[in-house]
């Protein structure tokens, strides 16, 4: 049984810290589920809705912490937003139509996507706006966003500072830029694309392959964007200052959220699972390609296109054995958020798996590659950690029988959920700190575990 252990820490105000205790593996299941709406598309739909002129309607919007931070931030910028259940009404005020008081601060919480993409929309702001984040987000690099936005004409304070909090001051005299994005960062690319919407003339971006949700969204909205796909990069051309018409959008399920239940099913005995209406954008399915190379046999069924994005139902069932993998580096950017659970599969493979050029993992909400290595070692798995690489020595007979404590992981939601999957599928007694961390991205996570038959 999942047991929440509630601790009260002494302080001037009462603070609840919930630890999750798991002592048993999950029983076999055969279920159909839906996961929360895709976080990347949710944030983009809110931001673009705020720039449209009129009422936009977004359906199946998750109420995760990152989404609520986005909504609250846009409200402070004068956007009227009404959220009823999972339907959101946004009364956009047009390009650069934000209406706000001097000296405001926007708290992005834990959302790097919101903080970075919002900066792209603020490059014409007439007053300074301060962008804040939580402890985790405040450790992450923003120089990669600051540099191209300064070329447009925006100014940042303090000078040469690369982390939050930061102040941005826009310019009335923006100029289009030529930008090279060579990290494979969809957030950097998207921030520049959004900045280009507010800028006269043509902005040209040469971008390493990464998630292309922003480009597809702009195409769906019939905005002047042109994408020329090359083998190793995309050439993106954006003509600015075209007004955005209000729109309707249905958010599909999040494949990054689905990944936890896909791996749970694969590692559990005699189990089957169908996950309905999930986004299967090729820039997001590197995870499935990798685990299928390891013997997972995950299938996409009932495929169709919705609002420019491909969606499908995902079918997966338990497997008794897995192959090791020398993971192709070209798949890294399309699976960057799922490597933690991929490592769990590698821990059960019949051989040594190798993953390289994953430095970006240590620049997420926590140093994920380093923490993954520590957790795998606690599980009894042999690993060798390099600079941006990890070698995992799989054990097909891995069956944990000891106590494992997971703490001090910067409340990283993916560390928490990966640890839960490991506990439910591989055994042992697990005590996992900061149960509430999953609500920043996947508030339905625990409820779906209940649907699969595991009681909280």
Kindly state whether residue 407 falls inside one of the protein's structural domains: yes
- 204 plus 304 within the same structural domain: no
Domain's final residue, options 250, 283, 311: 250
**Other beta carbons less than 10 A from residue 17's beta carbon:** 13
Q: What is the pLDDT along the chain (456 residues), one digit of tens a residue?
A: 555 554 433 333 334 568 999 999 999 999 999 999 999 999 999 999 999 999 999 999 999 999 999 999 999 999 999 999 899 999 999 999 999 999 999 999 999 999 999 999 999 999 999 999 998 899 999 999 999 999 999 999 998 889 999 999 999 999 999 999 998 899 999 999 999 999 999 999 999 988 999 999 999 999 999 999 998 899 999 999 999 999 999 999 999 999 999 999 999 999 999 999 999 999 999 999 999 999 999 999 999 999 999 999 999 999 999 999 999 999 998 999 999 999 999 999 999 999 999 998 988 888 999 999 999 999 999 999 999 999 999 999 999 999 999 998 878 999 999 999 999 999 999 999 989 999 989 999 999 999 999 876
- 305 plus 263 within the same structural domain: yes
- 11 plus 156 within the same structural domain: no
Rounded to whole angstroms, the Cα distance separating 407 from 392 reads 22
User: What confidence score (pLDDT) does residue 183 get?
Assistant: 87
- 198 plus 136 within the same structural domain: yes
Alpha helices in 249-333 (DSSP H): 255-267, 286-293
- 194 plus 53 within the same structural domain: yes
Kindly state whether residue 144 falls inside one of the protein's structural domains: yes
Per the structure, the complete domain to which residue 350 belongs is given by 2-37+252-451
Domain's final residue, options 223, 250, 277: 250
Kindly state whether residue 161 falls inside one of the protein's structural domains: yes
**Other beta carbons less than 10 A from residue 309's beta carbon:** 22
- 238 plus 311 within the same structural domain: no
Among the listed residues 313, 337, 433, 434, the single catalytic one is: 337
- 231 plus 298 within the same structural domain: no
Beta pairing, strands 15-22 & 30-33:
unpaired
The predicted-structure confidence for 163-174, as pLDDT tens digits, reads as follows 999 999 999 999
- Edge-to-edge strand ranges of the sheet holding 80-84: 80-84, 87-93, 53-59, 248-250
- 226 plus 240 within the same structural domain: yes
- Packing angle, helices 112-121 and 39-51, rounded to 10: 20
Give me the sign of the Cα torsion angle 75, 119, 56, 63: negative
Rounded to whole angstroms, the Cα distance separating 378 from 258 reads 25
User: What confidence score (pLDDT) does residue 64 get?
Assistant: 94
- Give CA 64 to chain center in angstroms: 12
**CATH code of the domain in which 164 resides:** 3.65.10.10
* Nearest to 426, CA basis, from 445, 441, 444, 404: 404
Kindly state whether residue 376 falls inside one of the protein's structural domains: yes
* Nearest to 215, CA basis, from 46, 48, 441: 48
Kindly state whether residue 125 falls inside one of the protein's structural domains: yes
- 240 plus 103 within the same structural domain: yes
- 246 plus 353 within the same structural domain: no
Domain's final residue, options 250, 270, 304: 250
Q: Angle CA(183)–CA(184)–CA(188) in degrees, nearest 5? A: 80
The predicted-structure confidence for 412-455, as pLDDT tens digits, reads as follows 999 999 999 999 999 999 999 989 999 989 999 999 999 999 87
Give catalytic status of residue 412 as yes or no.
no
Kindly state whether residue 71 falls inside one of the protein's structural domains: yes
* Contacts of residue 446, Cβ cutoff 8 Å, sequence gap at least 6: 2, 435, 438, 456
- 256 plus 246 within the same structural domain: no
Kindly state whether residue 456 falls inside one of the protein's structural domains: no
Please state the domain count of the chain: 2
- 256 plus 213 within the same structural domain: no
Rounded to whole angstroms, the Cα distance separating 411 from 159 reads 30
């Amino acid at each position: 049984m999942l047991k929440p252990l509630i601790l009260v820490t002494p302080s001037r105000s009462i603070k609840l810290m919930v630890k999750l205790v798991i002592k048993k593996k999950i029983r076999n299941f055969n279920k159909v589920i839906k996961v929360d709406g895709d976080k990347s598309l949710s944030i983009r739909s809110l931001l673009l809705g705020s720039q449209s002129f009129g009422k936009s309607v977004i359906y199946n919007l998750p109420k995760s912490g990152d989404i609520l931070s986005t909504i609250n931030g846009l409200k402070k910028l004068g956007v009227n937003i009404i959220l009823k259940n999972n339907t959101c009404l946004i009364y956009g005020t047009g390009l650069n139509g934000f209406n706000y008081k001097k000296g405001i601060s926007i708290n992005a919480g834990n959302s790097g996507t919101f903080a970075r993409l919002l900066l792209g929309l603020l490059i014409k702001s007439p007053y300074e706006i301060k962008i804040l984040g939580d402890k985790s987000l405040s450790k992450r690099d923003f120089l990669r966003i600051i540099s191209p936005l300064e070329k447009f004409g925006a100014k940042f304070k303090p000078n040469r500072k690369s982390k939050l909090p930061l102040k941005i001051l826009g310019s009335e005299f923006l100029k289009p830029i030529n930008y090279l994005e060579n990290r494979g960062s969809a957030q950097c690319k998207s921030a520049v694309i959004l900045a280009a919407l507010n800028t006269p003339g043509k902005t040209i971006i040469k971008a390493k392959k990464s998630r292309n949700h922003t480009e597809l969204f702009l195409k769906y909205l019939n905005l002047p964007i042109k994408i020329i796909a090359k083998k190793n990069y995309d050439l993106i051309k954006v003509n600015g200052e075209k007004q955005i018409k209000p729109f309707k959008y249905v958010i599909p399920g999040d494949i990054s959220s689905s990944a936890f239940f896909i791996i749970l099913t694969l590692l559990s005995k005699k189990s089957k699972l169908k996950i309905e209406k999930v986004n299967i954008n090729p820039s997001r399915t590197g995870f499935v390609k990798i685990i299928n190379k390891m013997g997972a046999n995950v299938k996409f069924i009932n495929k169709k296109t919705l609002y420019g994005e491909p969606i499908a139902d995902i079918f997966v069932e338990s497997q008794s054995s897995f192959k090791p993998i020398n993971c192709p580096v070209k798949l890294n950017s399309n699976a960057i958020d799922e490597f933690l659970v991929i490592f769990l599969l590698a821990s059960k493979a019949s051989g040594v798996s190798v993953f390289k050029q994953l430095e970006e993992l240590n620049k997420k909400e926590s140093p994920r590659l380093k923490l993954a290595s520590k957790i795998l070692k606690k599980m009894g798995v042999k690993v060798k950690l390099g600079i941006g690489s990890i070698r995992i020595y799989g054990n097909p007979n891995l069956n944990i029988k000891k106590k494992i404590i997971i703490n001090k992981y910067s409340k990283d939601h993916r560390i928490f959920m990966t640890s839960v999957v490991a506990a439910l599928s591989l055994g042992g007694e697990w005590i996992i700190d900061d149960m509430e961390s999953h609500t920043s991205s996947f508030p339905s996570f625990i409820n779906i575990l209940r649907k699969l038959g595991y009681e909280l």
